[in-house]
Structure 1
Amino acid sequence: MPQLLYLYGIFPAPGPQDLEVQGLDQQPIHTHIIDEFVFLYSVAQQERYLASRKNLLGHERVLEAAMKVGYRTLLPLQFGLIIETWDRVIKELITPRGDALKRLFAKLEGRREVSVKLLWGPDAELNQLMEEDAGLRAERDRLEGQQLSMDQIVDIGQAIETAMTERKDDVINAFRQRLNALAIEVLENDPLTDAMIYNTAYLIPWEDEVKFSQAIEELDEQFEDRLRIRYNNFTAPYNFAQLDQLS
């Protein structure tokens, strides 16, 4: 059986050298050059890797190690990509998409991806809504203890849902107005949980992260304890290194 290789990412030549990090299954990291592209890989010890937390973090750790020593322009590859021969890479990627890969390198040069995820407590927000909205509170109190018709249930439910949506939109728009202007590109993703109301990646100039981080802190202060903000300022550019985003 031929030796299997696990791929992590692609860099413009000359690429990372002698990274002090181990890959999956504690394997040494190597580089392989094809034309102007440098592939980061290790020898795979399995035919298929489960997308466990340990393996996902191991994949990401290799790319972050390269970024930390200065190799910041990279195209991260999808987790679990295993090949038997480099001929496959040439045939399926380099030959048909080499120019597109170079355009992605140019797009990402001097730029970094950061991400913001916003989470709130739906129950706490609902309680705060009722405290602040006298009309809704009065309607709820008026109906309390009564045998409600289906129309009444629907009406009060829709009114609460509309008001909650407006509160959520106010929060999201505040982040959009403050952060989008600092970014070169913005990509809004679907929320990952019911408590998550915003899940967005930003492509920003590398040196502007301090300014972006300060804006996050100001927004955190603005909304006090209403939100939990997950801000990741150091990650491989998965959202902005997509070949299908290029024309």
Structure 2
Amino acid sequence: MTNKYIYGVTHNTADLPAPMLGIGGAPVTLVTHDRCGALVSDLPADRPLGTRDDLLSHERVLEDLARRRIPVLPFRFGAAMTGPQEIADELLAANQDAFLADLEQIRGRVELVVKGRYENDSAYLEVLREEPAVLELRERIRGVPEESSYDERLRLGEVIAQAMARKQAGDSDRLAAALSPYAEQVAPRPPAREDEVANLAFLVEQGQEDGFEQAIEELGRQWAGRVRLRLVGPLPPYDFVGSLQGRQS
């Protein structure tokens, strides 16, 4: 028996590139109902999912569509149903209004993610300059044996962590403020690293992409040697669609 693996939902008229290969090298096709279409590929019922290659294939299909500016509502990795009729009746027909509303929301728009990381010890050195309590505690325990200054060292770690959190929040707000004029929505993402300044997703109209990238370049010049910025995308709009189809980080 062959199931259908589901990558996401798009319009029934979407012009898919040929060939588009998904998990296990199977061709990606559309199962349609009325105005919606589910992006699917064959998946043997006895084939387990969950390998790194499976996840990468899932992401590759969706990112290829995003690069081609084909609007798609991305599904969480691992979605599968037993066949075309079930997909048409239980997925597309039952949720068509919500899917069409989300597709309209992202029409002509792309998701761009901006990540920032502090370079070297720039943020820590700024904390030492800007936070007198940090410098005072640091000087107080300098040369004091660890066993005799345990509480002060613990307090120093807490004060530094709090100061770094304030700095990261401020820099993330500054990044969002600089790029928001070129975006319709902004969504914060959980930081992937301790030294990450920000991890922000933006929903950007295609005509605003040049201005968005120029704003990143300008902020990069201002933060040269302090923060390294990286632009990722265009991506499927993981952060800007409804909850029916789930969200993938």
TM-score by length of 1: 0.84
| SS across alignment from 2:202 | strand
| 1:33/1:225 CA distance change after superposition, 3 Å | same
Partner of 2:31: 32
Q: Which amino acid aligns with 2:232?
A: N
Match of 1:100 among 98, 101, 104: 98
| 1:41/1:132 CA distance change after superposition, 3 Å | same
Q: CA deviation at 1:154?
A: 5.1
Q: CA deviation at 1:56?
A: 2.3
Match of 1:75 among 69, 73, 76: 73
Partner of 2:205: 205
Partner of 2:187: 187
- Describe how 1:220-239 pairs up with structure 2 within 5 A: 220-239=220-239
Q: CA deviation at 1:12?
A: 0.9
Distance 1:195 1:158 in 2: 16
Contact 2:20/2:61 (<8 A) preserved: yes
Distance 2:182 2:24 in 1: 39
Distance 1:68 1:243 in 2: 23
Contact 2:141/2:149 (<8 A) preserved: no
Partner of 2:117: 119
Distance 2:158 2:198 in 1: 22
TM-score by length of 2: 0.83
Distance 2:157 2:191 in 1: 23
What stretches of structure 2 of length at least 5 have no aligned partner? none
CA deviation string 1:169-217 (max 9, x = no partner): 3311210211123221111121122232422211111121111111111
Partner of 1:8: 7
| 1:237/1:189 CA distance change after superposition, 3 Å | same
Q: Does 1:20 align with 2:19?
A: yes
| SS across alignment from 1:169 | helix
Q: CA deviation at 1:160?
A: 2.9
| SS across alignment from 1:190 | coil
Contact 2:38/2:87 (<8 A) preserved: no
Q: CA deviation at 1:63?
A: 2.6
Contact 2:67/2:235 (<8 A) preserved: no
CA deviation string 1:7-46 (max 9, x = no partner): 2222112112452332221222222221111222221246
Partner of 1:242: 242
How many pairs were matched up? 242
Distance 1:241 1:36 in 2: 18
| 1:32/1:202 CA distance change after superposition, 3 Å | same
Contact 1:4/1:47 (<8 A) preserved: no
| SS across alignment from 1:224 | coil
Partner of 1:88: 86
| 1:62/1:140 CA distance change after superposition, 3 Å | closer
Distance 2:109 2:9 in 1: 16
Contact 1:100/1:243 (<8 A) preserved: no
Contact 1:24/1:55 (<8 A) preserved: yes
| 1:162/1:39 CA distance change after superposition, 3 Å | closer
| 1:75/1:44 CA distance change after superposition, 3 Å | same
Q: CA deviation at 1:139?
A: 4.7
Partner of 2:40: 41
Q: Which amino acid aligns with 1:48?
A: P
Q: Which amino acid aligns with 1:216?
A: I
Q: CA deviation at 1:77?
A: 1.9
Percent identity between the two aligned chains = 26
| 1:145/1:183 CA distance change after superposition, 3 Å | same
| SS across alignment from 1:10 | strand
